Structure 1
């Protein structure tokens, strides 16, 4: 709160608050807070549970989410092109919802543990949703601000994503109920899905597609 008061009063603020007058900027950053909180929660819980609960090695637990990275490498540029044509709103709405479905698929994790049927489907859905979300999200936020201020706009968005991740990890014990056992893992999956659903709803309600400029030649 003190930081915001200082930024509002400073002649040369580190974070100019007038950036948030742009609709897609504030809506995109609000969606970022929910989506990246979910990403941090899911990444931490899955990595730890696969080692402590499912008994995988650290290497295998890391490789378990590799399909997410592969999907993003393969399709992010294509999604960026489509978002440029049709606008970011649809992608920023559908993407988090698909990720939420992926998080709920992790509720199938149980005993005996099987990665291929219990984890991989959720990981693939999560990767597809993330691929649909990231490029349009970045484009919407930076596109709402004059290019001369794109550096500070990007920095603000990055800071919001990191702070959201820190907050949700700080609340981890409350989310999982004190222990990251199977029940705690399932609770974390539900909270992850809820955060992502809110992120999708914020995007649907707040993001506006930029309309092409009308030609004066008739």
Structure 2
């Protein structure tokens, strides 16, 4: 209820509305709004909003709780999520190939849902802390879902725009991901109940899972697999989907 909270939020919404209005009026807009007429572009960015909010929340809460709650050093707390990163590096290229064959919808739906299971596995964390049984399983499952998600998410959004607009399409997706990462951190006190103790950590894990489930459902309902050309039947890439495995638009 503090004016220091709601007034900047309200001002931001007004400025956002003004920006959109201005982009509709000018001949050469910074952000061509007709990009959002593409179903895959709009749905992909909406899915990005939920998925990257979940990634930011999970990464921040895990790193802080493992230090303050579990008593790990900063280095060990940082290394705790390394299995997820390694799995993404190892599998993203292969996933990119499969996306070219089967389309992105399956992966953009299944990936976040699998990550939500990984987030819920963090509910195993207890006062009697044991990384190997309480955190590692969740990190492995989370990493598998992340590998399924990142490459098709990025390539679908870029593939939904004309080649000459790939730069602005990437910039929009990057901006959405950055904003998504800020929102749950700003709301962290409300999410955790005011303290990042074990109960707060569990609340954050459930919230992370909920965001990922919504992101997966948005992909299920909104993403459409591009049409396949005749060359695709022999194993080529799906039309309109960038083939190489892409990095997420942020850390």
TM-score per shorter chain, which class?
over 0.9
Greater alpha carbon shift after TM alignment, 16-25 vs 2-11: 2-11
Q: Among residues 115, 122, 125, which one is paired with 1:106 in the alignment?
A: 122
Distance (Å, rounded) in 1 between the aligned partners of 2:58 and 2:26: 38
CA shift, 1:182, in A, is 0.4
Q: Among residues 175, 188, 192, which one is paired with 1:172 in the alignment?
A: 188
CA shift, 1:185, in A, is 0.3
2:7 corresponding residue in structure 1: none
Superimposed CA distance per residue, residues 133-178 of structure 1 (whole angstroms, 9 cap, x where no aligned partner): 0000011111111111000000000000000111111111100011
1:54 corresponding residue in structure 2: 70
Q: What TM-score comes out, normalization by structure 2 length?
A: 0.84
1:86 corresponding residue in structure 2: 102
2:53 corresponding residue in structure 1: 37
Correspondence 1:77 to 2:100:
no
Q: Among residues 205, 211, 235, which one is paired with 1:189 in the alignment?
A: 205
Distance (Å, rounded) in 1 between the aligned partners of 2:23 and 2:73: 46
2:228 corresponding residue in structure 1: 212
Q: Among residues 189, 196, 200, which one is paired with 2:216 in the alignment?
A: 200
Higher relative contact order structure (alpha carbons within 8 Å, sequence separation ≥ 6): 1
> How many residue pairs were aligned?
215
Q: Among residues 118, 124, 134, which one is paired with 2:150 in the alignment?
A: 134
CA shift, 1:214, in A, is 5.8
CA shift, 1:115, in A, is 0.2
C-alpha root-mean-square deviation of aligned residues, in Å?
Answer: 1.0
SS in 1 for 2:121: helix
2:139 corresponding residue in structure 1: 123
Distance (Å, rounded) in 2 between the aligned partners of 1:186 and 1:174: 13
1:161 corresponding residue in structure 2: 177
2:30 corresponding residue in structure 1: 14
Q: What are the ranges of 5 or more consecutive residues in structure 2 without an aligned counterpart? A: 1-16, 232-251
Distance (Å, rounded) in 1 between the aligned partners of 2:212 and 2:19: 28
SS in 2 for 1:179: coil
Distance (Å, rounded) in 1 between the aligned partners of 2:103 and 2:154: 12
SS in 1 for 2:211: helix
Q: What TM-score comes out, normalization by structure 1 length?
A: 0.97
Distance (Å, rounded) in 2 between the aligned partners of 1:29 and 1:14: 17
Q: What are the ranges of 5 or more consecutive residues in structure 1 without an aligned counterpart? A: none
Superimposed CA distance per residue, residues 75-97 of structure 1 (whole angstroms, 9 cap, x where no aligned partner): 10000000011000000000000
Distance (Å, rounded) in 1 between the aligned partners of 2:59 and 2:21: 34
SS in 2 for 1:113: coil
